[in-house]
């Protein structure tokens, strides 16, 4: 058992050469750096893939919303489901109350659907009522983040700053008569109630 307890006098042991120590440290730093670079690359690649998938989903959703909005009879039928949801308030607590106010306005707006497109030319139209931006404000309403909506607007060649100023005056101009202006007022009122 005495041999196991033999003490070493480190004052007589030769020190490890500096070059060897530096080589070990350099090797460790290089290996660690390579590992961290590889890890960083893999994380960025996965995040990029997820970001692309989310962007595809958002574009698909906006296309579906546009297709649904283009169905002529769907706008008049949209309000009736809201009262059905109102009959069952426990299922969706705060959602049912907002739809009932738009129902009378949209019912009035659904009465003259053919004049609805021509009223757009009114110069006092707000950005949120502008036909070019309506779908983006709908996207904002359903909870899509503003930066993502602005990116989609840039892709579509529109001004992304409009999303930050929904009540600002629109520069949308299209041919139309003065008779259609009051109807556009009614339509914009019903739209503002929905927002």
pLDDT at 151: 87
Closest CA to 66 of 129, 144, 139, 152: 139
pLDDT at 55: 95
Q: Percent of the chain, pLDDT > 70?
A: 59
Q: Which range in 154-158, 171-175, 185-189 is most confidently predicted, on average pLDDT?
A: 154-158
Q: Is this prediction's pTM over 0.85?
A: no
Question: What are the start-end ranges of the H helices in the chain?
Answer: 18-70, 74-77, 81-87, 102-110, 134-141, 146-155, 180-194
Q: What is the DSSP letter of 162?
A: G
Closest CA to 120 of 74, 170, 194, 67: 170
């Amino acid at each position: 058992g005495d041999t196991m307890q033999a003490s070493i006098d480190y004052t007589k042991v030769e020190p490890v050469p500096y070059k060897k120590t530096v080589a070990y440290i350099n090797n460790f730093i290089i290996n660690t750096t390579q590992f961290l670079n590889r890890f960083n690359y893999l994380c960025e690649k996965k995040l990029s893939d997820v970001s692309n998938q989310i962007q595809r989903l958002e574009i698909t959703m906006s296309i579906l919303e546009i297709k649904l909005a283009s169905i002529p009879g769907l706008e008049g039928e949209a309000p009736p489901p809201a009262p059905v949801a109102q009959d069952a308030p426990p299922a969706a607590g705060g959602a049912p109350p907002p739809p009932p106010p738009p129902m009378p306005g949209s019912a009035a707006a659904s009465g003259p659907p053919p004049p609805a497109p021509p009223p757009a030319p009114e110069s006092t139209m707000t950005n949120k009522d502008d036909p070019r931006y309506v779908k983006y404000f709908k996207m904002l309403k359903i909870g899509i983040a503003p930066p993502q909506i602005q990116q989609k607007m840039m892709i579509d060649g529109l001004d992304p700053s409009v999303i930050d100023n929904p009540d600002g005056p629109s520069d949308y101009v299209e041919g139309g008569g003065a008779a259609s202006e009051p109807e556009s007022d009614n339509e914009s009122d019903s739209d503002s109630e929905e927002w």
